[in-house]
Amino acid sequence: MGDDSDGTTAGTELPVDTERYTGTLRPGGTIILGADRLVVDRDDEPVVVDLADVVEVSLQDIDWFLAVMSAALIGFGLLSLNRSVLLGGAFAVAGAVSLALTYRKRNALRIRVTGRADPLRCLPAEPQALLAELEAALAD
Q: Domain residue spans in the chain?
A: 19-61+110-139, 64-103
Instruction: Indicate the pLDDT class of residue 112, thresholds 50, 70 and 90.
Output: very high
Flag whether the pTM goes above 0.95. no
Does 2.30.29 match the CATH number of domain 19-61+110-139?
yes
The whole-chain average pLDDT of the chain stands at 85
Q: Cα separation of 10 and 92, whole Å? A: 43
CA–CA distances in Å: residue 88 to residues 44, 46, 66, 68, 73: 40, 43, 20, 18, 10
The answer, yes or no, to whether residue 60 has pLDDT greater than 50, is yes
Q: What is the pLDDT of residues 74-99, one digit of tens each?
A: 999 999 999 999 999 999 999 999 99
Please tell me the distance from the alpha carbon of residue 123 to that of residue 80, in angstroms, as a whole number: 36
